[in-house]
A and B are shown apart, each in its own frame.
Chain A
Amino acid sequence: AQTVTQSQPEMSVQEAETVTLSCTYDTSENNYYLFWYKQPPSRQMILVIRQEAYKQQNATENRFSVNFQKAAKSFSLKISDSQLGDTAMYFCAFMKPLNTGTASKLTFGTGTRLQVTL
């Protein structure tokens, strides 16, 4: 079974600064997907970024980027130029590939609560 570990329950960063959230996972799969989801106080789950394990290049989405280290099973999220609206809970998640006829669940970490301050 896959496990996802987020070792930082809470983080704080000043506006405009950069912060990195850690995530490690354990799997015997060679191909899989990794995600970061943002959950603001509204509790909606918002996809931040996705990484395919077979791609060596790290995914980026505007101010959000990842450092994917497959051998180390590490998947950290870097938020640059932090904004007040980035204040939220951030969840790392793992998914095996979807195969035709087989749904694939997400396995989540316990989350990191990020507070962006003035």
Chain B
Amino acid sequence: EPEVTQTPSHQVTQMGQEVILRCVPISNHLYFYWYRQILGQKVEFLVSFYNNEISEKSEIFDDQFSVERPDGSNFTLKIRSTKLEDSAMYFCASSGIQGTRGWGYTFGSGTRLTVV
């Protein structure tokens, strides 16, 4: 079964440092997403991406965040200057065209980001 792959699984970074979280979506999917889950809380939408541009972003996704699909395979989330409150599990997801085989949302296994 196709998978969404995220790396690293766990990253520890110092406050103020830049981090890049990486994702490889399912190859025939066209829509890409990042979600965040602070420990013990619900999963929150950050941003969606289609056709090499942001489709929608939440209030959480401020100027400190950016996304990129640099090579047609990877999909990255960059946090420029991390804060303690950025500590969370970050999930990448992808989806295909509705009605096509396997179109539904598939989540990666997540990257646990710890800011110290």
Contact = CB atoms under 8 A, between A and B. Distances in A.
Interface of A: 35, 37, 42-47, 50, 91, 93, 95, 97-98, 100-111
Interface residues of B, number: 30
Interface string B32-74: 1101010001111100111100011000000000000000000
Given A42-B109, A44-B109, A102 B45 contact: no
A97 B15 CA distance: 38
Interface of B: 31-33, 35, 37, 41-45, 48-51, 55-56, 89, 91, 93, 95, 97-98, 103-107, 109-110, 112
A45 B97 contact: no
Nearest to A99: B98
Contact of B49 (A103, A106, A108): A103
Nearest to B55: A103
A71 B50 CA distance: 33
Instruction: Among A42, A98, A103, find the residue whose CB has the most chain B CB atoms closer than 10 A.
Output: A103
Contact of A108 (B43, B48, B109): B43
B42 A108 contact: yes
